[in-house]
Amino acid sequence: MTPTKLKPVDAVIVGTGVVGSILAKELADAELKVVALERGRVIDPQHDFASPYTFDELKYDRHSDIFQDLSRETITFRNNAREVALPMREMGSFKPGEAVGGTSLHWGTHTRRFLPWDFETRSRTIERYGKSQILDECSSQDWGLTYEELEPYYDQFEHLYGVGGKAGNLNGEIQPGGNPFEGPRSREYPNPPSSMNYAGTLFANACRELGYHPHVNPVAAQTQAYTNPYKLMLGQCIRGGFCSSHACSMGAKANPLTTVMPALLKQANFELRPLSNVIKVNLDSDGKRATGVTYLDAAGREFEQPAELVILAAYTFNNVRLMLLSGIGKPYDPATNRGVVGRNYSYQSAGRVTLFFEEKVFNPFMGGGARGTAIDEFNGDNFDHSGLDFFGGAYIAVASSGAMPIKSIHVPPGTPRWGAEWKRAAARYYQRNLTVRLHGACQSYRQNYLDLDPNYRDANGLPLLRMTFDWGDNERKASAWITKKAEEIAKAMNPSLMSAQPTAGHYDIVPYQSTHNVGGAAVGADPATSAVNKYLQSWDVSNVFVIGGCNFPQNSANPPTGTIGALACWAADSIKDLYLKRPGPMV
């Protein structure tokens, strides 16, 4: 099939999530002609998610209505290279989106910054503890980009998304009520923190008894009505639950549809093309310059969109797969430890302690986003790892995100899995349980990577992306140690019963854990170990920028979206202020 060649544009952007929407707006404001290609459909949250339809947990959370259509494209998975990878046929461990607005349509709104240590994980760990603290197979590396460089862009993103929270470190001065372990920030959050509910108060009191410093999670579910720098108004969160896995009919959840798109769509030099699935970045004869992209529309017709600048702004898996399909960068080979595309794939470790009470009632159905209370004493390198056989850590938290009735049923250990006794326990303990959670870092390893599957193809006949991943001993040991700290907090809350579950055994792709898939197109200072330079520009094709969670060389304990948003703002300024003035390699 010969594709239909369209009129050239200045920039073509693949994906309309957090990254794609910000890049499109900033480049359109710089008077570039911009086209954004999105393979998903257009969603109008106020119509499509109007009450009471938004409360359909079965449709959205269980049947994946706004998630990626796995019948057309999925990934294959195996724990190690000795196994044959098999396709993921239904959503499990993670839930990538597929609509204008991307995965952030249904995100939980938790907007922590990474710690300064997270950007220099390898060098700081070796400096403090020596090389023996890091396993030989661990490939975690410094970003080549520091917290100090990214701080203004964290601030920009937080104000764009109306994040509510309390600063813990303002320009180096520790502030009461905030997280004292965070990196210095230049100003306060744009919105006040959410109030602490009963579960959060119980957790906070127990933490204080043990000498810890509890603080309220920063969230982008608006704590008050807010108008952002693009002059778009967001409503206040009413704590109706049904937040994560759902879009918000109140317009209170910050995402591209509430913070960027209404302003962007008014600009004559911007065009949005939904239901447009990009299958390749086109390169010139020597493979050093992109000439545009090829995509398929909803009818399967093939189009070529020429462009001076190509920006890959999709989900981690899709960015990496497009690089591999297009021949941008050398594919990673775990046998030789050479190549960069697919290297340093990582995820998010976890752990939890579930508490049951006989008298305390928590009304868990009232909540929204990632509202909750946390401590950071065991995150990053905030504690001394001397004598411990791991590095990195986790924050410990109690969330108040709204307990949906299907997935939020917890019963005490020993309860039958079905029948009348199970029903009685489910009804009794729905309001009488809470979970103390670990949200942990995950280092990268030589044996964990992404590549093209040799056996399975998508609906268009293209190879699926293959994930080879398992937990490292570092993550298992860190989770076991920090889970014991969480158990101490849990005991101080005086539950009737409690059960602990750290990360252990092999990674399982079936149960949901987090949609925090990162790596595969890592940022770095060395082109031998990174796919993009500090400006998120491809080392090999200078007019291609690859931006998103795929840039993380390993994963922090903190959720990725705030950092992804900061990277988008950083890249937008880098393109406008540096690249457009002198196109070509920036490093």
* Structure tokens belonging to residue 342: 């697919």
Position 244 scores a pLDDT of 75
Does residue 479 have a pLDDT over 80?
yes
* Structure tokens belonging to residue 154: 């964290």
| Cα–Cα nearest to 224, from 178, 257, 188, 191 | 191
Contact between residue 505 and residue 84 where contact means Cβ atoms under 8 Å apart: no
Contact between residue 19 and residue 568 where contact means Cβ atoms under 8 Å apart: yes
Does residue 365 have a pLDDT over 90?
no
The percent of residues in the chain predicted with pLDDT above 90, rounded, is 87
> 296-332: buried (b, 16+ CB within 10 Å) or exposed (e) per residue?
bbeeeeebbbebbbbbbbbbbbbbbbbbbbbebbbbb
> Using CA atoms, how far apart are residues 582 and 4, in angstroms rounded to an integer?
31
Q: Hey, what CATH topology would domain 4-78+86-579 get? A: FAD/NAD(P)-binding domain (3.50.50)
Q: How many CA atoms lie within 13 A of 23 on its CB side?
A: 35
* Structure tokens belonging to residue 585: 């390699």
Position 284 scores a pLDDT of 98
Does residue 579 have a pLDDT over 90?
yes
* Eight-state DSSP code of residue 3: P
What single letter denotes the amino acid at residue 287? G
> Using CA atoms, how far apart are residues 222 and 473, in angstroms rounded to an integer?
39
> Using CA atoms, how far apart are residues 395 and 214, in angstroms rounded to an integer?
11
Position 318 scores a pLDDT of 98
What confidence tier does 86 reach under pLDDT thresholds 50, 70, 90?
Answer: very high
Concerning whether 516 is annotated as a catalytic residue, the answer is: yes
Position 110 scores a pLDDT of 93
Contact between residue 236 and residue 220 where contact means Cβ atoms under 8 Å apart: no
| Cα–Cα nearest to 147, from 563, 561, 553, 573 | 563
| Cα–Cα nearest to 313, from 52, 571, 122 | 571
> Using CA atoms, how far apart are residues 176 and 178, in angstroms rounded to an integer?
6
Provide the residue ranges of all domains of the chain, joining segments of one domain with +: 4-78+86-579
Q: Where are the alpha helices (DSSP H) in 233-283?
A: 256-259, 261-264
Contact between residue 341 and residue 320 where contact means Cβ atoms under 8 Å apart: yes
Position 177 scores a pLDDT of 95
Position 241 scores a pLDDT of 77
Q: Once rounded to an integer, what is the mean pLDDT over residues 7-25?
A: 99
Residue-wise pLDDT tens digits, 256-295: 999 999 999 999 999 999 999 999 999 999 999 999 999 9
Position 151 scores a pLDDT of 99
Q: Once rounded to an integer, what is the mean pLDDT over residues 217-229?
A: 96
Q: Once rounded to an integer, what is the mean pLDDT over residues 32-44?
A: 96
What is the 3 state secondary structure string of 392-432?
Answer: CCEEEEEECCCCCCCCCCCCCCCCCCCCHHHHHHHHHHCCC
Q: What is the chain's mean pLDDT, rounded?
A: 95
Position 211 scores a pLDDT of 98
Residue-wise pLDDT tens digits, 394-453: 999 998 777 777 777 889 999 999 999 999 999 999 899 999 999 999 999 999 999 999
Residue-wise pLDDT tens digits, 154-185: 999 999 999 999 999 999 999 999 999 999 99
Does residue 456 have a pLDDT over 80?
yes
| Residues ≥6 apart with Cβ < 8 Å to 256 | 16, 17, 18, 20, 21, 100, 101, 102, 104, 105
464 to 147, 303, 321, 550: CA distances (angstroms): 35, 21, 8, 17
Choose the weakest-confidence range: 121-130, 242-251, 512-521, 528-537. Answer: 242-251
Q: Which residues pair with 280 in a beta bridge?
A: 294
Position 404 scores a pLDDT of 75
Does residue 64 have a pLDDT over 80?
no
The residue that leads in pLDDT, 375 or 363, is 375
Position 54 scores a pLDDT of 76
What confidence tier does 362 reach under pLDDT thresholds 50, 70, 90?
Answer: confident
340 to 38, 356, 522: CA distances (angstroms): 26, 47, 8
Does residue 43 have a pLDDT over 90?
no
